[in-house]
Chain A
Amino acid sequence: MAVYERNYGRYQGELTPSWSRFMILPRYAFKDVFDSKGFLIFLVLSCVLPFAGLILIYLHHNLAALKFMNLPLEQLQQALPINATFFRRGLDIQSWLCFLLALSVGPSLVAPDLRNNGLPLYLSRPFSRTEYVLGKMMVLIALMSFLTWIPGLLLFFFQAYLEGAGWLAANLRIGVALFVASWTWILVVSLVALAISAWVKWKPVARVSLLIVFFVLTGFARALNEALDTWWGYLFSLSTAMDNVRAFLFGTALDDSHMAQPVWSAWLTLAVGCALSLWLLSRRIRAYEVVR
C-alpha cells in the first residue's frame, strides 16, 4: 500500500461570478472576425446608411446648410420626412445586413467544436450548455447590435435632441420599436444561424441552408398563398413575419401590402422559429455523441 503525502494544494481563491463566464467564449471569435479585411470593409460599408441618416437629420435642422445646397426645407421634408417610416426603412436595410453578417460568421461558430469533439472541453467545467450557446450567440449579438439598434437609437436621440423633448414624447414608440424589432431579428437570425451551424458541418452548405430558410421558404410561402388565395403560407416565412412585426411595432404600413398577415401569426412564426432552433441546438449541443 502506497503512503500518500498530501503535498498537492488546490486553488482556494475567489472565482469570477458564474453568470459572467459565457463572455469568455467570444474573445477569440472577435479576434478572428476582425482579422479579416473583407469583414472590416463590410463593417465600414454597413455604417454608410446610419451616417447618411445622421446627415439627413442634421440637414432637416440646419437651414444654412440647406440654403448652401440650394435645397428648400419643405421639399426635403416632403421627400424624406424624419418619421416612423424613415426609421423603419433604415432598420429594414440594416436588418438585411445583419443577415449577411450571419451568413458570413454564423456557420463557423458551433460546427468546428462539434466536428472536433470539442464540447467536453467546455462542458467539463462549471459551464452549462445554455451558457455555451449564449457565449457563441454573443458574437452575433454584439456585431448585429452594432448594425441595428445602437445606430438606430443614436439617430433617434439625435433627432430628439434637435427637435426637442416634445418630439421625443410624441414619438417614443419609434424608439421602443427600434429596440424591440432589432432584438427580435437579432435573436431569430442568431438562433437559426447557430442551429444550422450545429447541424451542418460544411460552411458552404450551412450558408445555403440559411438562404433556404430565409429566402426559399418565403418564395414557397408566396406560391402557396397565390395558389390557395390565402395568407397562411407566410407562417413558413421568417423574413415576411419579421417585416409584419416591424411594421406593427413602428405603426406603419407594409411597403408591399400583398405580404400582410395578422400580427399574431407573424409573432407565432418567429416564436416557433426560435423554439425550433433551440430544440435543434439542445439535441446537438451535448458533451458526448452515441454512435449507433
Chain B
Amino acid sequence: MTSTTPAHRAAERAARQSYGKLIAYLAARTGDVAAAEDGLADAFAAALASWPTRGLPQAPEAWLLAAARRRIVDMARRRRTREAAADRLLLSVEEAATEMHPADVPDWRLRLMFACAHPAIEVAMRGPLILQTVLGLDAAAIAAAFLTAPKAMGQRLVRAKRRIRDTGIPFRLPDRADLPVRLDAVLEAIYAAFGAGWPDPGGIDARRQGLLDEAVWLGHVVVVCCRMSRRGWVCLL
C-alpha cells in the first residue's frame, strides 16, 4: 500500500541494489554477519521513517551505511559489559567510519561469498548463506527453495553466521594456491541455489522462479570479478 511513495520506492531500489554490497562491507570490517544484518535492517527502517519527510539523501547507499554503522556501534556498546570481543568490533567499526568517503562503498560481495563458501562451513549451508547475505532472502524463502522447514533453516543460518564470526573466517580473496578449490566451492554454492530454483515445473512458486534469476546474477558477479582479475588476482586483494 505504501510502496508507491517515492521514499519507499527509493528505499526498495537501494535495498535491491545495495543490500549485498552493504552487508559485505559491514561484515568484512567486523567478521559478524548477523550484526551487519541487524544494523542494516535498522538503517532501512530509519530510511523509511526519514526519507518521506526530509527527502531523499544525495547518496542513499552511503546514508544507509552510516546509519547501519551507528546502529552496530550502539549494539556493540550495549554488549560491551558482557563480551570483551565487542571492543574489537567497536574499534573496527570506528576505524571504518574515519576512513570512509561518502558515496564510496567498495564492492566486497565476492569476499562475502568466499566467506560463506569457506571449507569450515558445512557444504549444505553455503548456498543458503550466500542467498541470505548477498541477496537478502529470508529464511522462509530459502527453506522453500531447499525444501526444508523454515524454522530449521533459520536456526542453521544463525549457527552458520555465528560460526563465521567465532572461528575467524576471513572476508578476503583466497591466496593464489587455494584459489581454484575455493572458487569451485563458491560456484558450487551458487549452482545449488540455481538448482533449488529449478525444479518447479509449473512455475507456480514465484519465489523459486526469482531464485533462478538471482543465482544467474550471482554467477555474473563472480564472472565480472574474475574477469577483472585476469591481469592478476592480486589486484583485487
A binds B: no
Q: Which residues of A contact B (CB under 8 A)?
A: none
